[in-house]
Structure 1
Amino acid sequence: MRHIAVIGSGPAGYYTAEAALKQWGDDVRVDVFDRLPVPYGLIRTGVAPDHQTIKAVSDRYERTALTENVRFVGNVSIGPDVTVEELQRLYDAVVIATGAPHDRRLGIPGEELKGVYGSAAFVGWYNSHPQFRTLDPDLSGHTAVVIGMGNVALDVARILSKTEAEFAGSDIAAHALERLKASKLRKIVVLGRRGPHQIMMTPKELGELARLERASPRVEAADLPEEGEDALLEPGLRKSVNHLRSFAAIPEHIHGEKPIEIEFDFYASPRAIVGTDRVEGIEVERTEVRAGRAVGTGETYTIPCSLVVSCIGYQSAAIPGVPFDERLGRFANDEGRILNGLYCVGWARRGPTGTIGTNKPDGFAIVEKIAEDLAAGRLGHGGKQGRAGFDALAEQRALDVVTFRDWKKIEEAESAAARSGAPREKFADVEAMIRALR
């Protein structure tokens, strides 16, 4: 019998468990650990609440989770409750699938001011992540600045712009919806260091901006390259740039008919957050693109604003005793191998790149490496205790372990508490989750 521990219950974790089932069938036991009492990681707290079709991928993970060979071990923190070293003694292989839950820092003066947030925190706030439920952003000002040119920046801009009616069918947190209903924002500036041909935004997400009830996207025609240059772009990026061109062609009177403007500010690099106690503005340097890189021109200007959300990427959280690459923000590894018997997968392995689906081949590839190492005798000769050994340890330490069937009770309570038209009202408090399953 093979015993595998997977740390992290997001896409990478469950694709790894699925791959292990296909590799060994009934001859494997996989325990999927998570510090929260609820599974699915990024699917639950990272995907935008108005993108329910993307969240539906969790149905696939549930089919894996409900097999007898796979067990969800929720409400267990790696480090405080059980160490990686202890898991290595109990399991043949330990796979880190913790994703990249921390924001990359801007690295500019003033980013510690009130009103400046990273996207992990801000998205976690409106997605009911327990760690960020008390974020309390001030939306009483006129202008918000969103830094970044990827889909997360679009998500944040869109969520800040929507009416209450446009959230119908979403699972946005009730506390966030109430704050957004009272928002006084009238301008959202999306700031990018480079130009339209270097964006990471996908056509679907950009197209959504054109259908917002009270917000209008604005692009300066002068920021767009010559149209003939679009022919050199890959098809998806070309479609995205076509959206930007359509935004630039929106007549001025249309902008005037909608109270919120989403302004794309290209060739603009943040240099400092301005303010005394809280953010009052952001100092920006005009750039130009040379050989694909943004180079400062020395021309600066300040955008007055009361809210800044930085969407420039994520990094994994280091685990004591596990080699970590601080520069790349991920675990130090050789194609997923960290140390003998210790592996990483998904964003923990490669950094925050790719889509949810990218984690499927990643999970299957790491299981192949585990199988190779087992066959070569590099992981010992079996006989490890696996989940039986962990259960004894959990009992000894009085850990309050949450199983997948426990999670289903939490899920039922969230569905029962949903406002009209919403699929669920997610608990934003761990203690409330535990009370619901008891």
Structure 2
Amino acid sequence: MAFVILQPCCNDATCIDVCPVDCIHPTPAEAPFMRTEMLHIDPQTCIDCGACAEACPVEAIKSEDDLNIEDEPYRALNAEYFDRHPLVADELDPVAPPWRKADYSGMRVAIVGSGPAAFYAARELVAVKGASVEMFDRLFTPYGLVRYGVAPDHPDTKAVTDIFKTLAMRKTFKLNLGVEIGTHITHEELVERHHAVIYAVGASSDRKLGVPGEDLLGSHTATEFVAWYNGHPDYADRSFDLSGERAVVVGNGNVALDVARILLTDPDELERTDIADHALAALRNSNIREVVVLGRRGAAQASYTNPEMLALRHLPDIDLIIDSGEVATDELTQAILDADDTEPSVKSKVTFAQEIAAAGAAGRPKRLILRYLTSPTDIVGTDRVEKVRLTRNRLEQESDGAVVARPTDVTETIDTGLVLRAVGYRGVAVPDLPFDISRGVIPNAGGRVVDPATRTAIPGVYVAGWIKRGPSGVIGTNKKCATDTVDLLLQDYLAGVLPTPSHGTDSIAALVTERQPNVIDFAGWTAIDSAEKAAGKERKRPRVKFVDEQTIMAALS
């Protein structure tokens, strides 16, 4: 018997640290780690000790004996990974690098942002001797992507925040919520009061489709919609026309699937989650009965992960529909599937899509239609969205091996009043820092912020998370990303290249108190967290999210 990793996997490698037989892979030291959809347990090596299941922060690990029918595909996914990546015994046990053992007494680091990358970086820093950390976020609630990006019907994924709560007990860590860099405190003032500043501000904007009509009323970014239903204060007053029976989602990554699923899920089911009250009320009055998700390439190149696709197969009252012609295995796709270097996850995407296509519709009241090899060319309407024009694509392989979608002359039109564009997040420029407009990131070398003019590192300024590498990976991917940045910071400190703060340790607290009297610390957030959960308990929900500043402040009184 072995243990199996399931859909909620956060990829943060906590389970790897406790495994006594090294059977969970890829590890952060292995090349596939930053690219893999999830972690896997080798069924041949697992000794059934259960340490990984106890340590998993999102409860994503089960014993084979406890798997239900919905979980069964993960048994094969685990095994297939090790068929492709057989285990090789390490010659030596990993040894902590020397900079992790040094004394950093007196080193002060500021972290801007409070999402997963920010908290992982903070955990790494407070774990070394002597370092202290001040974290800043413009919002009055922490956790960034976990609170405002993870779908409300994925509560296990949100449990990763439990490991961040341990920082509340650290005297060397201080949280400052409601403090905006560039408004309350400048970048220069942060630099003057710390040896280093790490920006982990995520990617809060979105990419453009670049087609006519995408700015029509009724055409929105998925970024807006996700933030709206998750209770982000910047988006709470948005409205979406749910009066029509069909919505079109452009893009087929995990966010696109989240959006489609939320649109179609019974509001009575959503009421058991932490979805924002204003979104729940709107969805109760929704007429949406069909969501069409458009992917420009084939099933093998789909941006979603297999766990998210598998979760769609068991949605009550919703038919999952795929046209068999759109997932038929053509010559190019077959060559990709037969290639020795093709990951098992790619093959599984094709297999799952073809199985769904073969199953057909069951006559349920709602429909989720996954389209492949299809791109929008025009969003049509006079004053608002009325239709979407589509073109059929074919796959071609470039000389460098990249598979691209080329339009054909086959076109069609879909009637709809709501288009949600889920074609990727983008970072936003930070005041007083360089910005790479083309990539949507702060230019950096491994995490050290770089001056584009001189191509040299700016002493003491670092990045982690999506603003460093772009919007890629899952929540746990930010752990290695943050660890890599912190390693560079520690080495730079020991090398003596970090600037020495020109102000004392109490200086930043004085600035914050003067300019933002409503700043919330970790104790304050803990009180808000408890109040949200108490409000939820009355309604048999995990929590009721407080959205506006007035309600949040009332929870502190």
What is the TM-score normalised by the length of structure 2?
Answer: 0.75
Q: Does 1:41 align with 2:144?
A: yes
Query: How many Å separate the matches in 2 of 1:181 and 1:393?
Result: 45
Task: Check whether the contact 2:192–2:501 (CA below 8 A) recurs between aligned residues.
Answer: no
Aligned equivalents of 1:323 and 1:343: distance in 2?
12
Distance, in Å, in 2 between the alignment partners of 1:275 and 1:385 is 60
Is the aligned partner of 1:234 residue 2:343?
yes
| Deviation of 1:133 (Å) | 0.8
User: Are residues 1:421 and 2:540 paired?
Assistant: yes
Partners of 1:370 and 1:398 lie apart in 2 by: 29
Partner of 2:430: 319
Amino acid paired to 1:261: R
| Cα displacement string for residues 131-166 of structure 1 (whole angstroms, at most 9, x for unaligned residues) | 111111111101100111211111111111111233
Structure-2 residue corresponding to 1:396? 514
> How far does residue 169 in structure 1 lie from its aligned partner after superposition?
3.6
Name the structure 2 match of 1:138.
241
- Map of 2:479 onto structure 1: 360
Whole-angstrom distance in 1 between the partners of 2:142 and 2:515? 22
* Residue 239 of structure 1: how far off its partner (Å): 2.6
Gaps of 5+ in 1: none
- 2:365 alignment counterpart: 259
Structure 1 residues 384 and 363: alpha-carbon distance in aligned structure 2, compared to 1, 3 A threshold: farther
Asked if residue 411 in structure 1 is aligned to residue 529 in structure 2, the reply is yes
Contact 1:81 / 1:399 at 8 angstroms: preserved in 2? no
Distance 2:412 2:148 in 1: 35
Q: Is the 8 A contact 1:2 1:92 kept in 2?
A: yes
Partner of 1:148 in structure 2? 251
Residue 6 of structure 1 pairs with residue 111 of structure 2: yes
1:109 corresponds in structure 2 to 212
8 A contact 2:195–2:500 mirrored in 1: no
Gaps of at least 5 residues in structure 2 are 1-105, 398-402, 450-457
Identity of aligned residues (%): 39
SS in 2 for 1:249: helix
Q: Deviations over 1:367-424 (max 9, x none)?
A: 11111111121113466524x1111112332442110110111112211221633100
Deviation at 1:168, TM superposition (A): 5.3
Root-mean-square deviation (CA, aligned residues, Å) is 1.7
> Is structure 2 residue 379 aligned with structure 1 residue 273?
yes
Question: Is the contact made by 1:209 and 1:216 (CA closer than 8 Å) also made in structure 2?
Answer: no
Give the counterpart letter for 2:194 in structure 1: Y
Partner Cα separation in structure 2 for residue 239 and residue 168 of structure 1? 33
8 Å CA contact 2:327, 2:354 repeated in 1: yes
Aligned-partner Cα distance in 2 for 1:65–1:364: 20
* Cross-structure match for 2:192: 89
Deviating more after overlay: 427-436 vs 312-321: 427-436
Larger deviation: 218-227 or 371-380?
218-227
Q: Match for 2:357 among 237, 243, 248?
A: 248
Give the match for residue 198 of structure 1. Answer: 301
Q: Which residue of 2 aligns with 1:170?
A: 273
CA contact (8 A) 2:460 2:499 kept: no
Alignment TM-score, normalising by the size of structure 1? 0.95
Task: Provide the rounded CA distance (Å) in 1 between the counterparts of 2:249 and 2:207.
Answer: 14
Q: Report if the CA contact (8 A) 2:192-2:502 is conserved.
A: no
| More displaced 10-residue stretch of structure 1: 134-143 or 232-241 | 232-241
* Shift in alpha-carbon separation, 1:74–1:398, aligned structure 2, 3 A: closer
The answer to whether residue 397 in structure 2 is matched with residue 294 in structure 1 is no
SS at match of 2:476: helix
Q: How many corresponding residue pairs?
A: 432
Q: Distance in 1 between matches of 2:359 and 2:539?
A: 35
- Alpha-carbon displacement from aligned partner over 1:289-343 (angstroms, at most 9, x marks no partner): 1110111123332211111111111111111210000000110111111121111
Shift of 1:88: 0.5
2-side partners of 1:243 and 1:52: how far apart? 25
> Which whole-Å CA distance do the structure 2 matches of 1:225 and 1:302 have between them?
22
Structure 1 residue 251, shift from structure 2 partner:
3.7
Task: Output the CA distance in 1 between the equivalents of 2:264 and 2:381.
Answer: 25
CA–CA distance in 2 between the matches of 1:119 and 1:4?
Answer: 34
C-alpha contact 1:101 1:316 (8 A) present in aligned 2: yes
Residues in 1 aligned to 2:359 and 2:271: alpha-carbon distance in whole angstroms: 27
Distance 1:109 1:376 in 2: 53
Aligned partners of 2:412 and 2:169: how far apart in 1?
56
1:17 is the counterpart of 2:122: yes
Contact 2:207 2:426 in 1 (8 A): yes
| Cα displacement string for residues 258-301 of structure 1 (whole angstroms, at most 9, x for unaligned residues) | 12111112111122211122111112222111110111123332
Alpha-carbon distance, 1:126 to partner? 0.7
Counterpart of 2:179?
A: 76
Q: Separation in 2 of the partners of 1:382 and 1:409?
A: 33
* 1:207 equivalent in structure 2: 310
Is 1:385 the counterpart of 2:500? The answer is: no
Task: Tell me, yes or no, if the aligned pair for 2:135 and 2:175 is still in contact at 8 Å.
Answer: yes
Partner of residue 8, structure 2: none
CA contact 2:121–2:479 (8 Å) conserved in 1: yes
Mapped to 2, the partners of 1:136 and 1:380 lie a distance apart of 47
